[in-house]
Amino acid sequence: MLAAAARLAEQGIVEPVLAGPREAIEAAARSFGVDISNVSVEDPAISPARDACRRALEEALAGKSVPAGELEQRIDDPMYFAAAMVRSGQVDGSVAGATHATPDTLRVALRVLGPAPGAKVVSSFFLMGLREPTPSGDDILAFADCGMVPYPSSEELADIAWRTATHYLRLTGAEPRVALLSFSTRASATHEAVALVRDARDRLHAMNPDFACDGELQVDAALIPEVAAAKAPDSPVAGKANVLIFPNLDAGNIGYKLVERLAGAQAVGPILQGLARPANDLSRGCTADDVVLAAVVTAIQA
């Protein structure tokens, strides 16, 4: 985290702010030989932002019977303090998780920031940087949801697809072509899981998206033109999809890790979507490069 913050500041990518005890942060920087002289440090115990953060937490936790002493303890927690800075508008987004489990970082984001207006669900996606482009020429794909929602309803799946496509356009500048994945292509199988994906497609179409979308499609029909020509010749996205929406978390999580580990793709994420303000999680095995990429994505979201 320290190395990433120093790089972000040195290269002028964003204005990084480290949240935590100043003495401990500065001691760690010295021990690792990292120059953070150009990085702001907000110590919850002495920060001028503490009162504003307290008010933000009081607002976020209103009606949840949090004792005053516990509220002060949460303000002292760097993750809660950072989220409160985001909620109060003192910073534009937060990145956490290098030393915290994903459920802990997500719990704070949900409690303090809450869902965006109109969001059906808070979900996530990965950007997958491929070593070789797909037959349609895409070297970056989006996979969703690979980290948040175990078994989305058809309404939630449509929301995930719409938000992932929107983010794909904003983050890559490329036109999204969305495939809702299944073990079936165009009714090649009959099952309630297939019917759910079809219903999600219909709901997505009813949202009048300004991008091409189709489903249900098997992953080879979604990506490979020859397979698409045989299985779904009239599909607007088959054979050229770049946004892949998995039917559940099992499929999504397994899928992105297979592509990352066996095909050597670079996985950026999970990138959270559906929150009122940007907040993103890191793997506890992250590198400084991962943190920099997460900060860049968070800045673009903001």
pLDDT tens digits for range 64-117: 766 667 778 888 999 999 999 999 999 999 999 888 888 888 889 988 998 988
- Span 126-153, mean pLDDT? 94
Q: Which of 204, 218, 216, 226 is nearest to 136 (CA)?
A: 226
% of residues, the chain, pLDDT over 90 = 78
The confidence score (pLDDT) of residue 238 equals 95
The confidence score (pLDDT) of residue 65 equals 67
The tens digit of pLDDT for each residue in 181-200 reads 999 998 888 899 999 999 99
The tens digit of pLDDT for each residue in 208-242 reads 999 999 989 999 999 999 999 999 999 999 999 99
The tens digit of pLDDT for each residue in 243-275 reads 999 999 999 999 999 999 999 999 888 899 999
**CB neighbours of 83 closer than 8 A, spacing ≥ 6?**
94, 108, 109, 111, 112, 113, 279
The confidence score (pLDDT) of residue 58 equals 86
**CB neighbours of 269 closer than 8 A, spacing ≥ 6?**
124, 125, 126, 127, 146, 147, 280
The confidence score (pLDDT) of residue 170 equals 92
Q: Which of 58-67, 98-107, 130-139 has the lowest mean pLDDT?
A: 58-67
Q: Which domains does the chain have, with CATH numbers?
A: 2-114+276-301 (3.40.50.10950), 123-268 (3.40.50.10750)
According to DSSP, residue 265 is labeled P
The confidence score (pLDDT) of residue 68 equals 65
The confidence score (pLDDT) of residue 61 equals 83
What six digits make up the tokens of 161?
């697809």
The tens digit of pLDDT for each residue in 19-39 reads 999 999 999 999 999 999 999
CA distance 214 to 184: 13
Residue 162: pLDDT over 70: yes
CA distance 19 to 286: 18
CA distance 157 to 41: 39
- Is residue 35 within 8 Å of residue 2, measured between CB atoms? no
